[in-house]
Structure 1
Amino acid sequence: MYFAALLARTEDGWEASDTELDDVETLSDLADLAREASPDEDTVLVLIEQEDAWFGVVRIDGEEDPRIYVSDAAAAARSSYGEILLTDELLGKEPGDDDATDLESLDLDGTEDGEDEDEDDGAEDGGSAEAVPHGPVGDTEILDDLGVTVKELKALSTDALTEIAESLGASEVLETVR
């Protein structure tokens, strides 16, 4: 079960709206959706949570690139919504690293077809497991200027979005869309 909401900072405080991510396929789509929530180019936070498994925060400040924090990259990688957030840049991979991994798993050493097939499968599985770390990834200072320190962000767990909203003074507006 997922929950996703937009928190847009306005002159009057925070405004919340729940959001459907069914039509969102990329981080760019998500950023565009967030920018639509704030015509004045104020700060918008996209909060995504999957039942006690992981949460993510995407921060959009006007036309700047999105800033992202994901509490558990390995758990998020198993989620279609998490995959949107886990960009190559966030995971510290260079564009095209996937191609190099794929080439390594191919049988290019001159052996006959079918030889060492089991070893290739193991290398492929190990490569993908190493690509996505367990634990948090991203901008740990994403909410620092809004009152949630790095230490507090990393300590959040089961009810993270509610705790973030409380720190921002937006818990009531978030609960209206929950």
Structure 2
Amino acid sequence: MYFAALLARTEDGWEASDTELDDVETLDDLADLADLAREATADDDETVLVLLEQEGIWYGVIRIDGEDDPRVFVSNAAGAARSAYGEILLTPELLGQEPEDDSALDSLTDLDGTEDGEPDPAGGSGADAGADPDAPPGTPAGPVGDTELLEDLGVSEKQLLALQSDAVNEIADMLGAADVLEAVR
């Protein structure tokens, strides 16, 4: 089960609204949703957070400040990669991958010199050793993105990384926005 909400910071505290992601296909589409939420506030430079979770599997936080590029954190890239909504957040840049300009030769050989799918003589399976077998190749099994995106709002990197289930509610609670989030849940 998925849940997504927008939190917009205002002079009076946080305002929350739930959001449908049916028409969202890219990170830019999410940023456009945040812009709509920001229009409801008095200041176009206010912080807007998009909180997204797939219950018990992964959560994501997207932060948009004014005209800045969105900052993104995903708790479990491999789990999110198997999700239609998670794929929106897992851009090549977030995953530390090159844009899809790779030559055919580069895609045939892993960095360790083995061909894709060829066992690594050291016992692994090439560059994807230890990766989630159900996730797309090159997707890390753990968190990715900006782990410090909520530091100035009172949620430390350590706290963000320690969250497991019910992460969206815990983040809202740490931000002082639990009541407004609960109202839209």
Change (3 A) 1:15 1:90: same
Map of 1:43 onto structure 2 = 47
Query: What code does the residue aligned with 2:60 have?
Result: G
Q: Secondary structure, in 3 states, of the residue corresponding to 2:29?
A: helix
Map of 1:12 onto structure 2 = 12
Provide the C-alpha distance between the structure 2 equivalents of 1:102 and 1:26, rounded to a whole number of angstroms: 27
Q: Is structure 2 residue 174 aligned with structure 1 residue 167?
A: yes
Provide the C-alpha distance between the structure 1 equivalents of 2:102 and 2:4, rounded to a whole number of angstroms: 29
Deviations 1:112-147 (A, max 9, x none): xxxxxxx97x46x97675410011000000100000
Map of 2:121 onto structure 1 = none
Map of 2:95 onto structure 1 = 91
Deviations 1:150-172 (A, max 9, x none): 00000000011111001100000
State the Cα distance separating 1:35 from its structure 2 match: 1.1
What is the 5 A alignment of 1:11-160? Answer: 11-39=11-39, 40-41=43-44, 42-96=46-100, 100=104, 103-104=107-108, 122=117, 129-160=136-167
* More helix as a share of residues: 1
Structure 2: give runs of 5+ residues left out of the alignment: 110-114, 119-124, 129-134
TM-score norm. by structure 2 comes to 0.81
Provide the C-alpha distance between the structure 2 equivalents of 1:96 and 1:83, rounded to a whole number of angstroms: 15
Structure 1: give runs of 5+ residues left out of the alignment: 106-118
Map of 1:177 onto structure 2 = 184
Provide the C-alpha distance between the structure 2 equivalents of 1:165 and 1:148, rounded to a whole number of angstroms: 10
The CA RMSD over aligned residues, in Å, is: 2.1
Identity of aligned residues (%): 69
Change (3 A) 1:74 1:97: farther
Provide the C-alpha distance between the structure 1 equivalents of 2:79 and 2:63, rounded to a whole number of angstroms: 20
8 Å Cα contact 2:81-2:136 kept in structure 1? no
Change (3 A) 1:88 1:100: farther
Map of 2:122 onto structure 1 = none
Deviations 1:73-96 (A, max 9, x none): 000000010000000100001112
- Point out the structure with max Rg over C-alpha: 1
Provide the C-alpha distance between the structure 2 equivalents of 1:89 and 1:38, rounded to a whole number of angstroms: 26
Q: Secondary structure, in 3 states, of the residue corresponding to 1:7?
A: strand
